[in-house]
Amino acid sequence: MNFNKTDQKKNLKSFKQAQGNNAFGKVQPQAPALEEAVLGALMLDKDALAIVIDILSPESFYVERHQHIYKAICKLFEDSNPVDLLTVTEELRKMGKLEAVGGPYQLVELTNRVASSANVEYHARIISQKFIQRELIRVSTETINEAYEDTADVFDLLDKAEQGLFGITEQNLSRGSMGMSTLVNMAIKQFEELSEKEDGLTGVPSGFTALDRVTSGWQPSDLVIVAARPGMGKTSFTLAVAKNAAAQFSSGVAFFSLEMSSVQLVNRIISMQTQISSEKLRKGQLEDYEWQQLYAQVDQLGKMPIFIDDTPGISIFELRAKCRRLKMQHDIQLVIIDYLQLMTAGGGDKNGNREQEISTISRGLKALAKELNVPVIALSQLSRAVETRGGSKRPMLSDLRESGAIEQDADIVTFIYRPEYYDILEDEEGNSLQNIGEIIIAKHRNGSLETVRLRWDGQYALFSNLEDQDFNGLQQAGGNFQLPSNLGGEPSPLSSKMNNDNGSIDDIPF
């Protein structure tokens, strides 16, 4: 992000020079009397600075001489020196700003105008609010002026405006810390709520029972990386996750596709739900029973709370804005990005290398997960090093492409691996690996590292649970899921290979 305090100050100064004390015929929001009261309190009470230092920066003060005084106070604090009238006077003299602030007399006047520091925090928050108002006016005015320029690229202008607003938020709305008493009570309450859950799920379920055993569902505020080589089924896996979460558990899902169009993704979901091959759907060459099968699922498909955005090359700032809106409007519980390397960092900085840009995107996705308190699943490509290795070619964390920051920022890193892709048809014990996909959990910040096996059906690009007779919990949440015993075309409760919802349709004759 190229929005730092130095740039902020320069922009503020130039804005004042251009506009004077008025913007659109109105005086800018300011509170000089409160600024004087706060500065006087800081020089009277050594403990006052600890209260306001997280609230105010030098740029928060409207009057320029007040900015110089606060800078001197902060410098004394950083150097672990005492803060009082005499030390601030001496520090301003060293900085060459003593005369600029009105000399020692002006500092004495500041201390005379306040009786105590009792209300210093309240005064500081008002000053901060006035500063935020001025910054909003500055960013808005710059946007208006540039919008009138025909030479300005409208999309760069949008990104710059959003970046400016985002910078104001980041710098001024920090979250306070909480004491252990509050946090322990919150944790105990969470434990009590979890004890009432019979299925053990504490997050958004994936619909894959063995995987949910390990993760207890995708956890709020977690960044989950799903990585694989091209053709392994990254999109198919995350579409299955999205469909299961939406259809079985009524969790709203935002799916951002940077590679495939929204219609292509819907076609895949329809193929998964109906078990009609995507090739047939693409050509529209369906048998009569397949048309019946399709129409029987239309209402159910339409009710899934999945929201697909296929904006190409979306920036992290656009993504955050769209996710905030979806959270407010539809209370989404899961965000999926397909895939990370196709995103841009935004901000108009073309000089940084790709690794730095990926690092910015990765940090932004983790921040998004924490801000919305939802799991964010981001797909990622792997480097070609996997192909050049001998043996089983199972991916490793070092294979993550373009940046080690992905591994650092992620709470969970999973790899999709299908041995059959590399013509490995049997394991060391001679067991068949055909139609088997592995979800390798290579990093799990809050759990164990395991490998989960799923069934892969290439005809429908579909991952599904392997048969598991000992587990009856998770897949009961969405209805009565049973594998159809009659494959001869008789109606039966549908159990797609993604744990589809209950519905009576004709099964496909294999």
Evaluate whether 217 touches 206 at the Cβ level (below 8 Å): yes
Closest CA to 132 of 164, 168, 163, 167: 168
CB-based contacts of 454: which residues, under 8 Å, 6+ apart?
208, 210, 211, 436, 437, 438, 439, 463, 464, 465, 466
CA angle 183, 186, 187 (to 5 degrees): 90
CA angle 36, 38, 41 (to 5 degrees): 105
Any idea which residue has 């104001």 for tokens? 168
Residue 198 has, within 13 A of its CA and on its CB side, a CA count of 7
The helix/strand/coil state of 176 is coil
Evaluate whether 206 touches 239 at the Cβ level (below 8 Å): no
E strands within 260-370?
306-309, 332-338
φ, ψ at 196 (rounded to 5°): -85, -10
Which of 142, 259, 420, 450 is the catalytic position? 259
CA distance 439 to 452: 5
CA distance 176 to 193: 25
CB-based contacts of 373: which residues, under 8 Å, 6+ apart?
220, 221
Q: Encoding tokens for residue 323?
A: 């996710």
Scored b (16 or more CB within 10 A) or e, 156-189 reads eebbbbbbbbbbbeebbeeeeeeeeeeeeeeeee
CA distance 452 to 208: 9
DSSP 225: E
Catalytic site includes residue 259:
yes
Q: Encoding tokens for residue 106?
A: 């002006």
Closest CA to 242 of 199, 215, 208: 208
Q: How many CB atoms are located within 10 Å of the residue 389 CB? A: 13
Catalytic residues: 259
